[in-house]
Structure 1
Amino acid sequence: MKLEKILDSVNSLEKNSFLKIIDNIKSSNPKNSKEIDKILSDSSDNLKSVDSINIAKVFDLIKDEFAETIKAEFINTTSQLDILIDIIIKDGNNILKQDWFARLYEKEIAKIKKRTKELKIQLESDKSEISETRKRDYLIYKACVETAYNNDYQNNRESKITDDELSILLTLTNQLDLSQEEVKLINYLIIPPDKSDIENITTFLKNIGVIFYSRKNNLIYVADEVVRVLRKVRKKEIADKYYRRVLKTLKESQINLVCRKHSIDTKELDYELKIKQIIKEGIPFSTLLKNGIHKDGTNLTDRKKTINDIWNKGLKISSNLKGSTLEEKIENIISYFNEIELDEKVGISVEGYEKLLLEINDELKSFRKLVLTEFEMPEETNLNSATLLDFNIKPRDVLDILSVEDLKSFIAAKELKSRGDLVLNILDAYKDAENLLIENYVAIGFRNLNLLKENGITIKESELGLKFECITQKIFEQLGFNVDESLKKKLNTTKNKIDLVLNLGNNDVIIVECKTIKESGYNKFSSVSRQIKSYVDLAKKNGLNVVKSLLVAPDFSDDFVNDCDLEFEINLSLITAGSLVNILEGFRESKHKQFPYQLLMKDVLIKEERILKAIKK
């Protein structure tokens, strides 16, 4: 869930700790202080009175400093912060009931105690199942941790690991290619973990700003933006769901090689479970691609070829992987996945996602259990598109957890395309729901629930306005426009919320306002013109040139059109929902890849006939 949404969901008391940390960072002259001051210049200096949108913007500017405050907490060796962070950054764990969080924590503590006991036996045994080379690495790191922790005690001081010592240990783990799990087990072999009270844990995490806790709802929230920072702190370069996607492109022999290098017991594990175990092990993604999947002695050229094959043949990305060195190629793969994560688009329509979930659940009886297990969700979780999107789990992420056999079974049952990439075939099949909504765009604009129901669209009346806006966005995107969500967020304030911003480049924009009506003929010109004028002024204040403002509605009254004709300050044109859909259909049949926006500049009430004739030339 996005930080902005969480801030709107919790009360002032529940976000105090987070705001206090931001305020402390803001007061310590962070590197982006000028940008922060610019955002807050129109607001009170008191963060409590700043709206959620701007707090999220400020957090984005101080995330590096925030990461440093978290790193400082690792000096407290009894905090178990590594265990706690590893739980809350897992896919699906960003919204948790407190009692479920307690169960996950207790389960993790029990697992660590069991595995440290097993590791101790292996390290002390002459007939260890761990290879001699790996055993040597473990013992070197273990000796260093023991020295770092115990040297204070020998000098009559409280035992702890200092910043400098921690930095050296981190360097050592990198050089020894130790996974996060290997490091964790050896650390807790030296400093055994004691189970803490969940209330104390919740308070601790809240006080350092990594969670929000709603006592009323008994819910723990971890913002997506915070998760990304915490991943960076834990040296996790990409989310587990993307790690899984890459692992599933590998041959089983490569998977087995990774397991051997990190002492992962593969007995009785099939391909899918081996992948799951590698992810749990916390092997750095770059380490996996640089060394883990290659046999000893593999030359640099062959390593690069393997990485290129993962990119082109495994991930099926048509463009060439950039980078001349192996490290650059790996870094570009990491950047690719991090960009995907920041993209708020679902990939298919939300309705298509909902339909996909329902139909997979009908066809694959183990589906629900698989999702709950994979994403560590409690049994009572409602597996619908809204819930999963709050967890930042998109359609592709769900399909990625299915085995090849399950994908084939579902495709056969639904009679979908079976050649090529199975996951992409399924996603393509469920994109049709988006077209269904576009086909019913006018009915949505007229808020005609009965007609929508007849056409197979179930929607609440309260959701029609937002749905109309979303479809308008999709239409403009299909027309080739850059519907700039990030620019819109930058412009929007609590008072002025622009529906759509079409970014034409060179600081030129078109502002689009969307309106639904129950009766024929939208006629509230004075109010909507004031609204659009404030948007235009807002854009100009931010250095943008508004070349056009558009109002989209299912219909307009004659008086409205006449009033608009006399308005010159906001350069407003009107377009009906029906005309916009017809223009889209004409555009699809034309040779144009980008709709010529100049065609929208002439009319007060845009005439689709003129535009259709122009784009057919």
Structure 2
Amino acid sequence: MKLSNILASVNQVEKSKFINALDRVCNEAMTHDKELAKRVQKLDGQIKNASSGEIVQLFKLVLPYFEKSVKEQLAMLGVQASLLTNIVSRDGNSIARMSWLETLYLKEWGEIDRLSKEINNQFEEEDQQTDYLSEIRRLDIYHACLREAYFNDEAHNRDAKITDDERGILNILASKLDITAEFKNAIEHLVNQIPQNGVMDCLNAMRELGIVFVRRKDHLVFIADEVVAMLNRILGKDLADKHVLRILRTLSDAELSNILKAHDKRIRGIERKDKIKTIIAMGLKSHHMLKEDLCPSDSGLNERKERLKLLIEDLSLDLEKIGTTLDERADLIISCLNNSAEFEFNALSATGFKEMFASLQQHFPELNTMLQTEFEIEDNEALDVDKLRALSITPYDILYVLTNDEVKAVRDSMGLSKRGNPRLMILESFADATDRLIENYAALAQRDLAALKAENIEITEAEIGVKFEEVTKAIFEQLGLEVDEDLRRSINTAKDKVDILLSLSDDDVIIGEAKTCKNGDFAKYSTTSRQVKAYVNRCENAGKRVAQVLIVAPSFSDDFVESAEMDTEVNISLLEARGLKQILDAYKNRRNPKFSAKLFTKGGLLKTDLIAKNI
């Protein structure tokens, strides 16, 4: 979830720890950063008075200083904070209950403790004649160096700890000795045992640093997408696990074996799924894996470059250039995957995403369990598209949780072409389904089942209202507007449910309502007015300014139009469904279309002919 949406989901008291942490960093940085000082002055020198949008902009500006501060203070909190940071920054853990994070911590602690005991037993059994380059000997060297780095402070009558400088040297040593992340954690546990208890205290300490937000009413912990990216940099991860999985799914069995062999892991008799699981657990740097491990050790430079070129095609990455050197190609793959979320959410409309998820659930009744396991989501959490979107799990991520054989089975059952990337074929099929609904948007608005069935669109009467709302969102997205599902989800309650939220900026929004009507003009003004005014209050309580309320319907009665124009409590614009489709058609037909959401803020019944003409 984005930082701006988390700020809209928590109250002022719950924001305060983050704001205080930001304020401390700003005060320290302003002494030598004039640009930052000017920004704070625009806020009257008080960050606590800033709007959510201003806080987000300030965070972006101060991020290098904030990251440095967090890195230093996490080191002071010790190994427990390091382990907990690794957990909260993982895929699927950006929104979780405190008790679930404690459960994940204890599970992780148990695995580290088990592995550290195994390593210690091997140390005790180690023969002096053991090959110098063997895994146990390399682990022993790293253990000796880490132990010295930790305890050398005691010789100078200081508390034992590993400084940033020492940590940097140890990281280089681990890289040169090929010590993977799981072994690094286990060896550190041998030297400086990670506490098994006190998780909640550590989580609260991280809250003081501004890393996490805690919503007290339901004990939910939030960590912003922007902060997750920052923590991954601090932890030295160049790709999230879900993106590493995506690469590994694309590789052949032989290439998976190459990666394991490069790190002295067993490959004989190991199934493909277990190879993938082992590689992810190793926590390898993706850049090194792509550049060095993917191909056989005797492969030439040109062969390695060509393999990365093919990988770019297999992953269907949209790159303007593919790079000329091996390093460039590896960097481009990593950068593209790290910045893929927005593109991947936009690849399918809200309708398309829901239809794809529902279809996959039919093919795989255990899909929810698979996703909960892969992304460490609490098993009593109801999984739907809104929840997945809030956790930054895209349609692509879901398809890559499925094995290659499972995806091909879905493709074949849908009767799709066997040529090309099967995951892309599935995505495109659901994008096409949304396009057909957009083409028949007016019939959908009028609840004209006969016209829809004549176009081979199978839909029930009960589904029409939801479909109209979702297709309206898809049209707004195709017009280049930001349909903010995270914010909508955070604002909605069981009683008040906004249909559509368009974000104009970090603070300004348009509330959208999609209304179908079977016979005649839409005429229920008093009911609709009460609804939208409740939604306006919800948005304003979340720190958002409502620039306009936009109601979309097949057509409006004269009384409805007059009442909307005379309403003094809220600004309302009315948009007929055929007119919105006319605007979209005009937008698509222009070579360089220019469209602004401000065209929807004129009030009253909008003149769609004029809007379409001026796009």
Tell me, in whole angstroms, the C-alpha distance in 2 between the residues paired with 1:500 and 1:9: 15
Cα shift at 1:584: 4.4
The 8 Å contact of residues 148 and 160 in structure 1, kept in 2 or not, is answered as yes
Cross-structure match for 1:332: 332
Cα shift at 1:23: 0.5
Cross-structure match for 1:357: 357
Q: 1:131 to 1:102 in 2, by over 3 A?
A: farther
Cross-structure match for 2:535: none
TM-superposition CA deviations, 1:490-522 (whole Å, max 9, x none)? xxxxxxx995779xxxxxxxx999786785699
Q: 1:53 to 1:205 in 2, by over 3 A?
A: same
Letter in structure 1 aligned against 2:99: D
Cross-structure match for 2:495: none
Asked if residue 388 in structure 1 is aligned to residue 391 in structure 2, the reply is: no
Cross-structure match for 2:56: 56
The 8 Å contact of residues 112 and 182 in structure 2, kept in 1 or not, is answered as no
Cα shift at 1:197: 2.1
The 8 Å contact of residues 39 and 58 in structure 2, kept in 1 or not, is answered as no
Cross-structure match for 1:82: 82
The 8 Å contact of residues 96 and 220 in structure 1, kept in 2 or not, is answered as yes
SS for the counterpart of 1:166 is helix
Cross-structure match for 1:247: 248
Asked if residue 473 in structure 1 is aligned to residue 486 in structure 2, the reply is: no
SS for the counterpart of 1:96 is strand
Cross-structure match for 2:278: 277
TM-superposition CA deviations, 1:114-168 (whole Å, max 9, x none)? 1111122334434999993444433332222111112112333221112221222
Q: Which runs of 5+ in 2 are unaligned?
A: 453-458, 488-499, 526-549, 563-572, 600-605
If asked which structure has higher relative contact order (CA below 8 Å, sep 6+), I would say: 2
TM-score scaled by structure 2?
A: 0.77
Cross-structure match for 1:106: 106
Cross-structure match for 1:423: 423
TM-superposition CA deviations, 1:438-492 (whole Å, max 9, x none)? 246457878999x9985664557xx98x86863442342xxxxx55799xx9xxx
Report the RMSD for the aligned CA atoms in angstroms: 4.4
Q: 1:125 to 1:419 in 2, by over 3 A?
A: same
Tell me, in whole angstroms, the C-alpha distance in 1 between the residues paired with 2:291 and 2:612: 58
Tell me, in whole angstroms, the C-alpha distance in 1 between the residues paired with 2:39 and 2:611: 46
Cα shift at 1:176: 3.5
Tell me, in whole angstroms, the C-alpha distance in 1 between the residues paired with 2:404 and 2:217: 43
Cross-structure match for 1:47: 47
Q: 1:574 to 1:166 in 2, by over 3 A?
A: same
Cα shift at 1:424: 0.9
SS for the counterpart of 2:310 is helix
Q: What is the count of residue pairs matched by the alignment?
A: 551
Q: 1:130 to 1:107 in 2, by over 3 A?
A: farther
Cα shift at 1:341: 2.9
The 8 Å contact of residues 254 and 293 in structure 1, kept in 2 or not, is answered as yes
SS for the counterpart of 1:220 is strand
Cross-structure match for 1:150: 151
Asked if residue 139 in structure 1 is aligned to residue 150 in structure 2, the reply is: no
Q: 1:485 to 1:159 in 2, by over 3 A?
A: same
The 8 Å contact of residues 95 and 391 in structure 2, kept in 1 or not, is answered as yes
Tell me, in whole angstroms, the C-alpha distance in 2 between the residues paired with 1:324 and 1:596: 36
Cross-structure match for 2:122: 122
Cα shift at 1:170: 2.4
Q: 1:77 to 1:255 in 2, by over 3 A?
A: farther
TM-superposition CA deviations, 1:41-84 (whole Å, max 9, x none)? 2x454333322222122212222222212221343374422211
Q: 1:81 to 1:202 in 2, by over 3 A?
A: closer
Cross-structure match for 1:199: 200
Cα shift at 1:177: 4.1
Moved more, 60-69 or 258-267: 258-267
Cross-structure match for 1:305: 306
TM-superposition CA deviations, 1:100-126 (whole Å, max 9, x none)? 111110010110011111122334434
Tell me, in whole angstroms, the C-alpha distance in 1 between the residues paired with 2:595 and 2:204: 54
Asked if residue 167 in structure 1 is aligned to residue 187 in structure 2, the reply is: no
Q: 1:127 to 1:355 in 2, by over 3 A?
A: farther
SS for the counterpart of 1:65 is helix
TM-superposition CA deviations, 1:360-385 (whole Å, max 9, x none)? 22221332221111111122121210
Tell me, in whole angstroms, the C-alpha distance in 2 between the residues paired with 1:376 and 1:184: 20
Cross-structure match for 1:227: 228
Tell me, in whole angstroms, the C-alpha distance in 1 between the residues paired with 2:210 and 2:611: 57
Tell me, in whole angstroms, the C-alpha distance in 1 between the residues paired with 2:462 and 2:37: 47
The 8 Å contact of residues 476 and 483 in structure 2, kept in 1 or not, is answered as no
Cα shift at 1:310: 1.3
Letter in structure 2 aligned against 1:333: I
Cross-structure match for 1:546: none
The 8 Å contact of residues 475 and 581 in structure 1, kept in 2 or not, is answered as no
Cα shift at 1:410: 2.2
Cross-structure match for 1:296: 297
Tell me, in whole angstroms, the C-alpha distance in 1 between the residues paired with 2:501 and 2:54: 15
Q: 1:97 to 1:516 in 2, by over 3 A?
A: closer
The 8 Å contact of residues 554 and 576 in structure 2, kept in 1 or not, is answered as yes
Q: 1:8 to 1:561 in 2, by over 3 A?
A: closer
Cα shift at 1:13: 2.1
Cross-structure match for 1:401: 401
1:389-538 matches, within 5 Å, as 389-435=389-435, 437-439=437-439, 441-442=441-442, 457=463, 459=465, 470-476=473-479, 483=481, 499=502
Letter in structure 2 aligned against 1:241: K
Tell me, in whole angstroms, the C-alpha distance in 2 between the residues paired with 1:119 and 1:128: 18
TM-superposition CA deviations, 1:524-577 (whole Å, max 9, x none)? xxxxxxxxxxxxxxxxxxxxxxxxxx9988658999999xxxxxxxxxx99854
Letter in structure 1 aligned against 2:9: S
Tell me, in whole angstroms, the C-alpha distance in 2 between the residues paired with 1:558 and 1:286: 63
Cross-structure match for 1:178: 179
Moved more, 31-40 or 350-359: 31-40
Q: 1:595 to 1:280 in 2, by over 3 A?
A: same
Letter in structure 1 aligned against 2:237: K
Cross-structure match for 2:345: 345
Cα shift at 1:24: 0.8
SS for the counterpart of 1:383 is coil
